[in-house]
Amino acid sequence: MKIISTVNLKTLLDDLKSEFSDHDWIERSSLDDLTEDDLKTVEVLIAYDSELDVTQMPKLKWLVWYAAGVNRLQLQYMKEHGIILTNAKGIHKIQIAEFIFAYIMADYKHLDEFHELQQTRSYKTNIRTTELFESVICFLGTGEIAVRAARLAQAFGMKTIGINTDGRSIEHFDETVQLADRETAFREADIIVNVLPETEQTTELLTMNDFKAMGDSALFINVGRGTVVNESVLIAALTNRVIRKAALDVYYDEPLDSSHPLYELDNVIMTPHITGLSRRYNERATEILKQNMRMGIDNSDKFVNLVDYDKGY
Amino acid sequence: MKIISTVNLKTLLDDLKSEFSDHDWIERSSLDDLTEDDLKTVEVLIAYDSELDVTQMPKLKWLVWYAAGVNRLQLQYMKEHGIILTNAKGIHKIQIAEFIFAYIMADYKHLDEFHELQQTRSYKTNIRTTELFESVICFLGTGEIAVRAARLAQAFGMKTIGINTDGRSIEHFDETVQLADRETAFREADIIVNVLPETEQTTELLTMNDFKAMGDSALFINVGRGTVVNESVLIAALTNRVIRKAALDVYYDEPLDSSHPLYELDNVIMTPHITGLSRRYNERATEILKQNMRMGIDNSDKFVNLVDYDKGY
């Protein structure tokens, strides 16, 4: 097969070439660098740039998506044309779970304040930090990222609550609640973490009533998708101290414009959609690709991380 | 007994008065507020201010020390005069173990850099953070704080090494090494955490050779005592990038003077000896006092947290 990678795989590509040497491996630095011939002949494409237009690739059999979210891809077209789609789901859990605790530490341990003290050479010992121990953390979504973060939370002695569609029990959650009853969980929680993917059901799911339930001592962390809440609602909740603070890695429209009103607020921690990144990201995504290559495209129904076009994940 | 507290116990004192009502409980806002009569008559003193001079208290039977470190107290005098000494050891482990991970997150997840990006409204996604997962953390000391932090480290998927006098195995350490062989452990570790108390044996224990063994990618965290290293050695190790970075909560002489050369360095995270503080500190220390009060002073040999004058802890 003619396999083109638009992801810079470095030595990982050498590994692939050597293990799967009966295929034709080509590397391009980006989608823009694909030639007319590439577009016409590519059978397997490795990519994670959502500008991708698969309708230009008549021979495409398999899109190896090196990101998790597939909601911006041409799912209907791919379904109709039988183009296999696999994604990188599951390789974000380690780094995102860790970053959830980075946000919590930044907030609970007043790291900015101590940094400021150090800069001003001030030795003030009257800052009282907050303990994670015995606090309550609630995850909106109970997928792999939430499970890993919940396991860490339990190690810290926190109580963990998971919210999913039907309230089914999941390991590492002390309690699970169905989505319809989420306000009860929000009321109890000190920290609420959104890890939901973007789907029709999750778009603008959270309303002002949800933030009211979280309450004015709550820290809201969003490492899922920015579209889970209409940003004007979130900004109102923060401005009016309906919730205490937010830590955001994702936004309704990315990249964020420098004039965005979120930048005006003093009770938000912002990172530029980086919690899923890792120095070992490509290594892990390539591991999934290798597993599927070993299975062979004729067994694509058994592929790891096969995306269901209709569910959208 | 005449029991004087110089710690502001608020409602906790009411609890003590009500449970142990056959004693005479007195509250003073500080050591300086003790009257001549207080000094002459006090039998049990609750305190954590190291300016304390027990030689002024002829009737003192029991010093209830609400801090952990007792090295600055008049241990020899107390031993000779049979003054019982209990401390607050063990109530720091939750908050200090958490703060160790706050330092690690601040460093590994580049929190200052992201804070700076946010301040400048810059959406730069090219910062690569480091994972705790599969990194190696080494604790100098394997007491309660280290054990709790090592348990958290294992939850993050880190390898844990403990260093103690004889290399005895301790739970939650994947390996233990005796103090004499510490350089091997330092060489393997990405993060080295000092949690040792100050004793004659630990004073200026670490030399430049230790920092050389840690190496130029190492993060050194000190939440034990500042005297574990001569500060000029530490400053040289940081200035010459013998180690990559330090996170310090404790210093050779505290409080730190604003002209201290540590403030000049760009590869140190500094907090003003606060990792042991907690909103629940007095509650936890009072819990120990209550346990001992229930035992009764006649059974002081069975007291919780009885300090050995000779060991100094």
For every residue of B148-166, DSSP letters joined together read HHHHHHHHTT-EEEEEESS
Answering whether pTM is above 0.80, one says yes
Asked if the C-beta of B309 comes within 8 angstroms of chain A's C-beta atoms, the answer is no
- Check CB contact of A255 with chain B, cutoff 8 Å: yes
Under the banding of pLDDT at 50, 70 and 90, the label for residue A148 is: very high
A121 lies in some domain:
yes
> Do B222 and B252 sit in the same domain of this protein?
yes
Based on the domain organization, do B245 and B140 belong to the same domain? yes
| Spatial distance between the Cα atoms of B290 and A269, rounded to a whole number of angstroms | 42
- The answer to whether residue B280 neighbours chain A at the CB level (below 8 Å) is yes
> What pLDDT does B268 receive?
98
A296 touches chain B (CB under 8 A): no
Cα–Cα separations (whole angstroms), residue A53 to A56, A75, A86, A310: 6, 11, 16, 19
Is there a single domain that holds both residue B101 and residue B51?
A: no
Chain B residues with CB inside 8 Å of A91's CB?
none
A277 to B156: CB separation less than 8 angstroms, yes or no? no
Confidence of residue B260 (pLDDT cuts 50, 70, 90): very high
Which pLDDT belongs to residue A221? 98
| B268 burial type by CB count under 10 A (0-12 exposed, 13-18 middle, 19+ buried) | middle
Query: What one-character-per-residue DSSP string does A13-79 give?
Result: HHHHHHHTTTSEEEE-SSGGG--HHHHHH-SEEEE--TT--GGG-TT--EEEESSS--TTS-HHHHH
B126 shares a domain with B259: yes
Measured between CB atoms, does B122 come within 8 Å of chain A?
yes
In chain A, which residues have their Cβ closer than 8 Å to the Cβ of B274?
114, 125, 127, 129
Question: Same structural domain for residues B241 and B189?
Answer: yes
pLDDT surpasses 80 at B50: no
Query: A196 and A148, same structural domain?
Result: yes
A152 with A229, same domain? yes
pLDDT digit string, tens, across residues A40-77: 999 999 999 878 999 999 999 999 999 988 988 999 99
Q: How far is B278 from chain A (nearest CA, A)?
A: 7
Q: What is the rounded CA–CA span in Å between residue A221 and residue B127? A: 20
Number of domains present in the structure of chain B: 2
Q: Which two tokens stand for residue B33?
A: 């507020």
pLDDT in tens, B126-179: 898 999 999 999 999 999 999 999 999 999 999 999 999 999 999 999 999 999
Residues in A closer than 8 angstroms to B105, CB to CB, are 98, 101-102, 105-106
Shared domain check, A143 and A35: no
Let me know if residue A255 belongs to a domain: yes
In a domain, B311, yes or no: no
CATH code of the domain covering residue A58: 3.40.50.720
Residues in chain B with CB shorter than 8 Å from the CB of A263 are 118, 121
Q: How confident is the model at residue A179 (pLDDT cuts 50, 70, 90)?
A: very high
pLDDT category, B215, cuts 50, 70, 90? Answer: very high
Rounded to 10 degrees, what is the CA torsion of A263, A267, A272, A273? Answer: -130
Where in the sequence is the domain holding B233, given as residue range(s)?
93-270
Q: Is residue B312, in this structure, part of any structural domain at all?
A: no
Radius of gyration (C-alpha) of chain B in whole angstroms:
22
Say if the Cβ atoms of B109 and A132 lie within 8 Å. Answer: no
CA A243 to chain centre: 23
Q: Where are the alpha helices (DSSP H) in A121-200?
A: 144-155, 182-188
Share of chain A above pLDDT 70, in %: 100
The contacts of residue B173 (CB under 8 Å, 6+ apart) are B139, B142, B147, B150, B160, B161, B162
Q: Using the beta-carbon criterion (under 8 Å), do A129 and B101 form an inter-chain contact?
A: no
Choose the closest CB to A117 out of B125, B127, B272.
B272
- Mean per-residue pLDDT of chain A: 96
Residue B197 has pLDDT above 80, yes or no: yes
Measured from the Cβ of residue A178, the count of other Cβ atoms closer than 10 Å reads 13
Q: Let me know if residue B167 belongs to a domain.
A: yes
Residues B29 and B68 grouped into a single domain: yes
A143 & A254 share domain = yes
Which residue of chain B comes nearest to A261, CA vs CA? B121
Predicted-complex ipTM score: 0.89
CA–CA distance, B137 with B162 (Å, rounded to integer): 9
Helices (H), chain A: 11-19, 36-41, 75-80, 93-108, 111-119, 144-155, 182-188, 208-214, 231-239, 281-295
Is A277's CB within 8 Å of B125's CB? Answer: yes
Nearest chain A residue (CA) to B125? A272
Residues A119 and A215 in one domain: yes
Q: Is residue A311 part of a domain?
A: no
What are the tokens at A130? 């907050």
In a domain, B309, yes or no: no
Question: If you average pLDDT over every residue of chain B, what do you get?
Answer: 96
Residue B81: strand, helix, or coil: coil
Distance from CA of A122 to the nearest CA of B (A): 7
A98, A125, A152, A281: best to mutate for the B interface, most B CBs within 10 A? A98
Residues A104 and A211 in one domain: yes
Residue B101 to residue A98, Cβ atoms within 8 A: no
A113 shares contact with chain B (CB less than 8 Å): no
Per cent of chain B over pLDDT 70 is: 100
Q: Inform me whether the C-beta atom of residue A94 falls under 8 Å from chain B C-beta atoms.
A: yes
Mind telling me how many Å the CA of B242 is from chain A's nearest CA? Answer: 22
Residue B190 CA to chain centroid, in angstroms? Answer: 22
B262 touches chain A (CB under 8 A): no
| Cβ pair B155:A157 closer than 8 A | no
Q: Quick check: is A310 in a domain?
A: no
